[in-house]
Amino acid sequence: MSRFHYLIAVCLIIFSAFSVYFFIQKEDEFFKTADEGYYFKFATIIAQKGIVAFPSLIKSYASDIEAHLFPPPSRAGHILLTALWLKLFGASFIALAKFSFFCYFLFIIINFYFAKKFFGKDIAYLFALLSASSPLVMAMGKRALADSNVNLFWALSIWTFMDFLITKKKSKFVLFLIAYSFCIVVKESSLALLVFFAAFFLIYKYYFKNNLFDTYFLGIIFIPLITVAVSYIFLFGGISNFLGLIKGIFDTHFGSVKLSEYAVLFCSGPWYRYIIDYLLLSPITTLLFTGYIGHILVSRKREWKIVYFLLYFIIVFIIFSSLKYSKVVRFVINLEMVMNLFSVFMLYDLFKQEDRKKQNNLVFISVIAIFFVNYLNYLSLFCLNNIYDPITYWLLAAKKIIPY
């Protein structure tokens, strides 16, 4: 692509970021009795009292059955970062939303940096353009929730692991371990990524015939778990508090804890519910992504970088769609990173021809068109209709597919 193309891409990314920041809610428009309220409460307590307040937070959570329906204080990574943010910029829901915006912006930068490193400059700009205009990513970038932060650290973990596999440097492995360990303490559901990292390590070593020490495999499995466990025991004031927290979280997801009516009515559904939601949020990229998977299967592409992202998508999709009350698309927000990347690949294959300049122009025009479709979806769903939680019901109602 030309420098003019790059300039347009940068301007549109800045425009997208400005639109996220500009549409941050007013202080009285946040959901203070829902998840946003709990994240704000945790952050303000730690900001005021320091990490010594964690044990009391854990005991309060473990003894309060109703609190189990909301975010647990085990998300210490997010709580610590937001507590520091509130200490620097003042305690308000708007400040918490601006932290989400900061994570949104870092997410775009990280995607651009690693995509450029592994796939080239042209792919990186187009990928960043789609990432910046994702309605779901933009929406979470203006809420006082943890999803934008989770999305950032999931992306960082995925990219740093790929960086290690390519370079095989110990320093890159350490960087990955730090990123992933912190990813778990940002949100406990990040443990699902451990299945992917372990599985792909074995595939990369034995199927793609790469020489890697088995000690790396053991490190992937045990170092993040041990690091997180030790950190939790230290922060939460002992093993008993740590075990009490684990039991509370486990009972909420797999035990006999009575779930809220909201979870039963709106957070359950069939395995393909995520696909429906993504079709409502980002219809063109979802279709391009689906088409590229078919293209991979038909052409039998075996490039390991493609398999890497495909396996990541499949494993995360299977794990989360198998959980009964986790059918909320923001829980798998990072899957759109793969969808956007594959959409760019699909466009290059669709417009493949000998004239490289013409191909680049066609792909660029297509991405610009997708950008504006995404952007209009963001305005419609999350600014005009002011959707807080992007569950299927609200998305369908906003699209007037079902009655409000």
Q: Which helix (H) or strand (E) holds 38?
A: helix 35-49
**Residue 403 belongs to a domain:** no
**Residue 404 belongs to a domain:** no
Whole-number pLDDT of residue 44: 95
Q: Residue 129, Cα to own-chain centre: how many angstroms?
A: 17
Sign of CA dihedral 381, 385, 391, 394: negative
**Residue 164 belongs to a domain:** yes
- Residues of the domain holding 380: 3-398
Whole-number pLDDT of residue 253: 62
Whole-number pLDDT of residue 267: 77
Contacts of 244 (CB under 8 A, 6+ apart): 58, 59, 62
**Residue 241 belongs to a domain:** yes
Number of domains in the chain: 1
**Residue 44 belongs to a domain:** yes
Q: Determine contact, residues 130/14, Cβ cutoff 8 Å.
A: no
Residue ranges in the chain modelled with pLDDT below 50: none
Rounded to whole angstroms, the Cα distance separating 89 from 99 reads 10
58: helix, strand or coil = helix
φ, ψ of residue 325 to 5 degrees: the values are -115, 35
**Residue 13 belongs to a domain:** yes
Q: Determine contact, residues 171/160, Cβ cutoff 8 Å.
A: no
Q: Determine contact, residues 101/24, Cβ cutoff 8 Å.
A: yes
Contacts of 399 (CB under 8 A, 6+ apart): 280
Q: Residue 361, Cα to own-chain centre: how many angstroms?
A: 30
Whole-number pLDDT of residue 257: 59
**Residue 148 belongs to a domain:** yes
Query: Quick check: pTM over 0.95?
Result: no
Q: Determine contact, residues 284/339, Cβ cutoff 8 Å.
A: no
